[in-house]
């Protein structure tokens, strides 16, 4: 009994007997309103608890030996597909010349119509020698024989590759049996007025490097990367490297809920006023991860996205050299290769976009308790005020 008495003195929730309670209409209204308010606020707390937000985090990129994916879609309205070559080089010394795998060329009708004519791979030559004698072995005309052809140049393209391997100019293939049989010069003249769209994807080493689209076959001469520009400059058509970059990215797109800018070069256009013109884009690539809720950085759970963002600056110049037309104090060097060049550098930092709950479950429970307690406290104060006010009004009328 003594222990019960001591605990009774500690009771913070004093009770009233049923006979001492007074129920009023205003109290019922306040109760209903407070219940509606509690319900609405609890729903809001639950939605806040279920809300997922994306928090960016910057860390040092510790990955090694990865490949860098490149997705591109570029239109050249004044250069035919036959003259375009896509090459990749990097600081490790690796070179990929005349890339065909994963890249597609679409011939376009003359500008300004620029509608698709046909789609093919970068190798627009067709092997039309299948009807020849099985023992036929084409001449390479003094150039070293490509290793893949077992000592023979069976097609015009084989002869072009043989010439390019030692830096010889090829021209239109005059006097070359294979090219005359395939009507290479006639087909080239038919394409002079056409444009070209180059699209697809490629994979490169994740080191500093560049990829470029330039005219003519590429080859190495005296440890220099050069192109056979004979057909480009000898053409009666004034080819220029005016171009539109519809899309350029380094990996898959991030989800829409990640607050990031679109690819900065998408839908950009550059105009060249002459044949001898060079466009250069200097790109800084930043590794980026997107980790959905419950996925850790080191796990391989489906849903995680590994991609790259980039920033870019650009420069253009005439290969004829001289003073810049827009900035008289700037002098351009003479020489170079016409085309579009993309030089990319790899940032040592990595951005991790991590999905997290906006509020923990403990925070949700705390919020619910605060909503209920706060609402009922305010409602009790309002009800008390209404009751006291009503009683005083009655006394005034009775008095």
Closest residue by Cα to residue 154 from 172, 171, 131, 186: 131
Residue-level pLDDT at 127: 45
- Pairwise CA distance, residues 230 & 243, whole Å: 21
Q: Higher confidence at residue 333 or residue 374?
A: 374
Residue-level pLDDT at 260: 66
Residue-level pLDDT at 280: 95
Residues 77-87 have a mean pLDDT of 90
For 118, half-sphere exposure in the C-beta direction (CA atoms, 13 angstrom radius) is 7
For 136-140, 208-212, 240-244, which range has the lowest pLDDT when averaged over its residues? 136-140
Q: Which residue has the tokens 């004093």?
A: 14
Residues 264-276 have a mean pLDDT of 92
Inform me whether the pLDDT recorded for 75 exceeds 60.
yes
Residue-level pLDDT at 123: 47
Inform me whether the pLDDT recorded for 54 exceeds 80.
yes
Domain range summary for the chain, segments of one domain joined by +: 59-117+194-356
Residues 174-202 have a mean pLDDT of 85
Residues of the chain above pLDDT 90, percent: 31
Reported in sequence order, the residue ranges of 151-237 that DSSP labels E, i.e. its strands, are 195-205, 209-215, 218-221, 224-227
Residues 142-157 have a mean pLDDT of 79
Residue-level pLDDT at 1: 47
> Are the CB atoms for 184 and 172 separated by under 8 Å?
yes
**Per-residue pLDDT tens for 200-234?**
999 999 999 999 999 988 877 667 788 878 788 87
Task: Grade residue 301 by pLDDT with cuts at 50, 70 and 90.
Answer: low
Task: Grade residue 9 by pLDDT with cuts at 50, 70 and 90.
Answer: low
Highest mean pLDDT of the ranges 23-37, 174-188, 221-235, 359-373: 359-373
Inform me whether the pLDDT recorded for 308 exceeds 60.
yes
Residue-level pLDDT at 165: 75
Rounded to a whole number of angstroms, the CA Rg of the chain reads 37
Q: pTM for the whole thing?
A: 0.73
Q: Facing residues of 201 across strands?
A: 71
- Pairwise CA distance, residues 163 & 168, whole Å: 5
Residue-level pLDDT at 295: 80
Inform me whether the pLDDT recorded for 245 exceeds 60.
yes
The domain defined by 59-117+194-356 folds into Acid-sensing ion channels like fold (2.60.470)
Residue-level pLDDT at 132: 65
Q: Which residue has the tokens 């500093």?
A: 208
**Per-residue pLDDT tens for 112-128?**
888 887 555 444 455 44
Is 104 exposed, middle or buried, given 0-12, 13-18 or 19+ CB atoms closer than 10 A?
middle
Closest residue by Cα to residue 275 from 75, 79, 77: 79
What does the DSSP assignment read for 202-218? EEEESSSEEEEEEES-E
Average model confidence (pLDDT) across the chain:
83
Residue-level pLDDT at 236: 80
Is 394 exposed, middle or buried, given 0-12, 13-18 or 19+ CB atoms closer than 10 A?
exposed
Task: Grade residue 247 by pLDDT with cuts at 50, 70 and 90.
Answer: very high
Q: Which residues contact 175 (CB under 8 A, 6 or more apart)?
A: none
Residue-level pLDDT at 268: 94
Closest residue by Cα to residue 312 from 351, 340, 333: 340
Residue-level pLDDT at 55: 87
């Amino acid at each position: 009994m003594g222990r019960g008495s001591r605990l009774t003195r500690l009771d913070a929730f004093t009770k009233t007997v049923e006979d001492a309670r007074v129920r009023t209409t205003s109290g019922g209204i306040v109760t209903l309103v407070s219940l509606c308010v509690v319900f609405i606020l609890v729903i809001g707390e639950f939605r806040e608890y279920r809300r997922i937000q994306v928090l960016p985090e910057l860390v040092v990129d510790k990955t090694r030996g990865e490949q860098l994916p490149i997705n591109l879609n570029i239109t050249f309205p004044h250069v035919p597909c036959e003259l375009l070559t896509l090459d990749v080089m990097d600081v490790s010394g690796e070179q990929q010349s005349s890339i065909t795998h994963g890249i597609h060329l679409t011939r376009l009708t003359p500008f300004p119509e620029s509608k698709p004519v046909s789609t093919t791979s970068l190798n627009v030559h067709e092997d039309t020698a299948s009807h020849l004698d099985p023992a036929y072995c084409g001449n390479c005309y003094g150039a070293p024989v490509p290793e893949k052809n077992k000592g023979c140049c069976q097609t015009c393209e084989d002869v072009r590759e043989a010439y390019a391997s030692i830096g010889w100019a090829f021209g239109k293939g005059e006097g070359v049996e294979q090219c005359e049989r395939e009507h290479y010069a006639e087909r080239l003249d038919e394409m002079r007025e056409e444009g070209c769209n180059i699209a697809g994807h490629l994979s490169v080493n994740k080191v500093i490097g560049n990829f470029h689209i330039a005219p003519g076959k590429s080859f190495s001469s005296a440890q220099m990367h050069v192109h056979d520009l004979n057909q480009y400059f000898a053409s009666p058509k004034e080819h220029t490297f005016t171009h539109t970059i519809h899309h350029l990215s380094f990996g898959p797109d991030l989800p829409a809920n990640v607050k990031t800018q679109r690819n900065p070069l998408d839908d950009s256009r550059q105009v060249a006023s002459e044949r001898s013109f060079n466009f250069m884009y200097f790109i800084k690539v930043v590794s980026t991860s997107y980790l959905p809720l419950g996925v850790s950085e080191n796990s391989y759970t489906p849903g995680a996205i590994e991609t790259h963002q980039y920033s870019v600056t650009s420069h253009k110049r005439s290969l004829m050299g001289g003073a810049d037309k827009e900035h008289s104090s700037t002098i351009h060097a003479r020489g170079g290769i016409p085309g579009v060049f993309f030089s990319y550098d790899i940032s040592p930092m990595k951005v991790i976009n991590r999905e997290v709950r906006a509020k923990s479950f403990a925070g949700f429970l705390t919020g619910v308790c605060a909503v209920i307690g706060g609402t009922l406290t305010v409602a009790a104060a309002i009800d008390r005020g209404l009751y006291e006010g009503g009683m005083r009004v009655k006394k005034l009328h009775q008095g």
